[in-house]
Amino acid sequence: MPPHVVTRGRVHGDVQGRAAGAFEGVYALVRRIPLGRVMTYGQIATLLENRLSPRAVGWAMNGCPGDVPWQRVVNAQGGCSTDRLPGTPVGLQRHLLEAEAIEFRDNATLDLEVYRWTP
């Protein structure tokens, strides 16, 4: 698969170049997530009119500016996907969310019915 694939205006996977504008939309939305609340990668992709896939939203978050609360974006099950990233300490995202009073269940997921934020 090429580094990125664009289909009907939607960006998938490892994105370069013109996706920067779409990434700014991700960052603007994530900056609005209140303390103690989360959104999912897929939810963000949907709110951005599917210009990015959930995976591309993840890539955007991986390289986000320092003022973006990246920890408030979780996977569709309410879990932390950042533990797999090289250079990211295991448990960092969960620790940051717990510091915002978000509680995790025994299966290492949070309850999206409780903590999901919808703008």
User: Which pLDDT score, from 0 to 100, does residue 118 have?
Assistant: 97
Alpha-helical (H) ranges within the chain are 19-31, 41-47, 54-62, 92-98, 112-115
Which residue ranges of the chain lie beneath pLDDT 50?
1-12, 14-18
CATH number for the domain including 103? 1.10.10.10
- Residue 86 pLDDT: 82
Q: How far apart are CA 60 and CA 22, in angstroms?
A: 9
Number of domains in the chain: 1
Report how far residue 58's alpha carbon sits from residue 105's, in angstroms, rounded to the nearest whole number: 23
**Encoding tokens for residue 25?**
């939309």
pLDDT of the residue at 22: 85
**DSSP secondary structure letter of residue 14:** S
pLDDT of residue 80: 95
Domain that holds residue 35: 4-115
Question: Phi and psi dihedrals of 109, rounded to 5?
Answer: -120, 160
Q: What was the pLDDT predicted at 104? A: 98
Question: Which residues, in sequence order, are bridge partners of residue 116?
Answer: 38
CB 20 within 8 A of CB 64: no
Does this model's pTM top 0.85? My answer is no
| Per-residue DSSP letter, 34 | P
Return d(Cα 80, Cα 28) in angstroms, integer: 21
